[in-house]
Amino acid sequence: MPRSQTSGRELAILFEALYLANLLIAPVMAFLILLVLYFQNKNHSSPLARSHLSQTFYTSLLGGFLVFLVVGVLFLFGGFDSPYIWMWVVLYFTIIHSTLVLFGALGLAKAMSNQCWRYPIIGAKLPKGC
Amino acid sequence: MKYTSQMVAKPYFIAAIGLFVGQILFGIIMGLQYVIGDFLFPEIPFNVARMVHTNLLIVWLLFGFMGASYYLVPEEAETELHSPILAKLMFWIFLIAGAATILGYLLVPYATLAEITMNDLLPTMGREFLEQPTITKIGIVIVALAFLFNIGMTILKGRKTVINLVLLIGLVGLAVFFLFAFYNPDNIVLDKMFWWFVVHLWVEGVWELILGSLLAFVLIKTTGVDREVIEKWLYVIIAMALITGLIGTGHHFFWIGTPGYWQWWGSIFSAMEPIPFFMMTVFAFNMVNKRRREHPNQPAVLWALGTGVMAFLGAGVWGFLHTLSPVNYYTHGTQITAAHGHMAFYGAYVMIVLAIISYAMPMLNGRKAANSAKSQIVEMWSFWLMTISMVFITLFLTGAGILQVYLQRMSDNPLPFMVVQDKIELFYWLREGAGVVFLIGLIVYIASFFIGKDEAEPNEA
């Protein structure tokens, strides 16, 4: 296997792992590392690495936006004392968060298999060469 | 099919599917009793319907595990089954004992059932999920021992693979932990504690080993990926399942009178319980991505992938949702638990049994590897119908559970249980609707066995 392809695969796995870490065990901190890596590698020679980087970076941004904006709006207009608002918040958060985690799990499996993958619906466009 | 003795799996699979239908019918009845309280009363009271629903689930999954073992072990061990006759005999004993027990629940008042089965000699009845008369429990132990003997002897005389050894460890664990069903101390704290040794250590312990080995077997067969790669994944998955699941039992010890340190042990270890399920998802998709062949049996691959995803959601995410002690203080025993239970059982165990049935049945019916394209399409429809309706059942129960927690346990003026039940009635209706769609999916699944029977199977790519 050529060296550039190997490093591309390793980077792709690292990006997916950071994306998942941001969602699961180290929120914000893992994203900040991903942010640094994004600026370091956005022009990387491997399309595999670039594709996983763009998927994880933009989906992290969009995912955070989807989670916090909608939850914020629900609380803003519904207040904290309504059981129905709490129901929608918990259900919404659980669905969105677990969907984002599942995307990451499938993305990680694709990265491990040396394959590009576009996250369904919210994923960024794949780079050329994928 | 490589070994003729694998045929003994077929009646086990057929019985499993038949009992599955019974389980869902009683689920529908019970779902309706949530909103129409006297529906079918006094013929089928709610507590009896619930008992039948949960007991049928356990029994049909056991039939599925046994059938799967009888199919898988000869192939892995590369030898005929030690005693096909014993396997057939145990099938009929288990089926008759199981059917008699269910009929006993339905036809005789539970107290009378306890009396006529001489429960007073060795009292084991009256506990959730372990309602079976003592004599049935003894029968289960005999069937389990004969089954283990048969499987164990087959493995001993044949090839030992990681898959059949992990499966054997899981099955031995299943039998050993069931023995706690016979321990029924007067002290209710000890009673509940050891009761969980059966219930939790089955579904969040040794059953995960069975699940892992069945999933690995189906993936090896359908993807053609090297056994070594799949076995390494299996090792790590079962290690994580045991590390987290065994001490994770502590999440059931929060409120039963055990020492306070279980709040910590239970919270920390059960918070890690989603890890093996997460790994299963990555594992399944990784193997399918790396496949060396396009197996003609597409539904089997679909069920295997679905197992990873749905087990992660149901057992992992929905388990984590209410597993931390400070959260569980409010949520235990609410509809959130029911939501978790439904999706976890479906994702982890129903789907893996259906995966192995889907993989094995075409061969058991004399085909080379797969059913006809038409049959496969119908089966994949049933996959989506059942899976999507189960997602909705879970979401509706979760919604009901959140409202229940808030109105009954968190608000400044907590409402009584039955008042809250009235307020969440809409969710029960919605759940019932989703349950009916699930039943339709199951009927479609059964129909797939009879559609396109005379048509050729698709070729392997």
Residue of A nearest to B283 (CA): A109
Residue in A113, A116, A117 to test binding to B, most B beta-carbons within 10 Å: A113
Statement to judge: residues B228 and B360 lie in one domain: yes
| pLDDT band with cut points at 50, 70 and 90 for residue B460 | low
Q: Inter-chain contact B286–A86, Cβ cutoff 8 Å? A: no
Residue B239 forms part of a structural domain: yes
Of B353, B441, B450, B451, whose CA–CA distance to B393 is shortest? B441
Residue A95 forms part of a structural domain: yes
Residue of A nearest to B405 (CA): A83
Does B376 score more than 90 pLDDT? yes
| pLDDT band with cut points at 50, 70 and 90 for residue A67 | very high
Interface check B275 vs A, CB under 8 A: no
| pLDDT single digits (tens) A25-50 | 999 999 999 999 999 999 999 999 99
Two tokens at A22? Answer: 């941001």
Residue B456 forms part of a structural domain: no
Q: Residue B428: CA atoms inside 13 Å, Cβ hemisphere, count?
A: 19
Statement to judge: residues B179 and B114 lie in one domain: no
Does B433 score more than 50 pLDDT? yes
Distance of alpha carbon B457 from alpha carbon B454, whole angstroms? 9
Name every chain B residue with its beta carbon within 8 A of the beta carbon of A109: 281-282, 285-286, 289
Statement to judge: residues B284 and B364 lie in one domain: yes
Residue A69 forms part of a structural domain: yes
Q: Looking at per-residue confidence, does A10 or B459 come out higher?
A: A10
With vertex at residue B218, the alpha carbon angle to CA B217 and CA B224, rounded to the nearest 5 degrees, is: 90
- CATH number for the domain spanning B432: value is 1.20.210.10
End position of a domain, from candidates B117, B143, B160: B160
Two tokens at B88? Answer: 């057939």
Helices (H), B248-334: 261-271, 274-289, 298-311, 318-320, 325-331
| pLDDT single digits (tens) A69-113 | 999 999 999 999 999 999 999 999 999 999 999 999 999 999 999
Q: What is the mean pLDDT of residues B268-275?
A: 97
Q: What is the mean pLDDT of residues B5-11?
A: 98
Largest Cα–Cα separation, chain B: 67
Statement to judge: residues B153 and B207 lie in one domain: no
Statement to judge: residues B105 and B154 lie in one domain: yes
Residue B42 forms part of a structural domain: yes
Residue B461: the pLDDT is 60
Statement to judge: residues B199 and B140 lie in one domain: no
User: What is the SS3 assignment for A79?
Assistant: coil
> What is the DSSP code string of B324-362?
SHHHHHHHTTSHHHHHHHHHHIIIIIIHHHHHHHHHHHH
Residue A12: the pLDDT is 96
Domain count, chain B: 2
Distance of alpha carbon B246 from alpha carbon B200, whole angstroms? 9
Residue B14 forms part of a structural domain: yes
End position of a domain, from candidates B105, B135, B160: B160
Of B288, B275, B289, whose CA–CA distance to B237 is shortest? B275
Residue A3: the pLDDT is 44
- The percent of residues in chain B predicted with pLDDT above 70, rounded, is 100
Residue B457 forms part of a structural domain: no
| pLDDT band with cut points at 50, 70 and 90 for residue B371 | very high
Does B273 score more than 60 pLDDT? yes
Statement to judge: residues B238 and B376 lie in one domain: yes
Statement to judge: residues B256 and B331 lie in one domain: yes
Interface check B315 vs A, CB under 8 A: no
Residue A2: the pLDDT is 46
- ipTM of the prediction: 0.92
Domain count, chain A: 1
Statement to judge: residues B297 and B401 lie in one domain: yes
CB atoms near residue B159 (< 10 Å) = 11
Does A5 score more than 60 pLDDT? no
The pTM (predicted TM-score) of the whole model is 0.95
Does B37 score more than 80 pLDDT? yes
Residue B26 CA to its chain's centroid (Å):
16
Residue B396, C-beta contacts closer than 8 angstroms, at least 6 positions apart = B427, B428, B430, B431, B434
Does A68 score more than 80 pLDDT? yes
Q: Inter-chain contact A91–B398, Cβ cutoff 8 Å? A: yes
Residue A6: the pLDDT is 52
Distance of alpha carbon B82 from alpha carbon B78, whole angstroms? 12
With vertex at residue B337, the alpha carbon angle to CA B335 and CA B340, rounded to the nearest 5 degrees, is: 110
| pLDDT single digits (tens) B158-209 | 999 999 999 999 999 999 999 999 999 999 999 999 999 999 999 999 999 9
Give me the domain span that covers residue A88.
3-112
Residue A124: the pLDDT is 87
Two tokens at B449? Answer: 């066995």
Residue A127: the pLDDT is 87
Residue A124 forms part of a structural domain: no
Give me the domain span that covers residue B401.
166-449
Residue in B230, B286, B307 to test binding to A, most A beta-carbons within 10 Å: B286
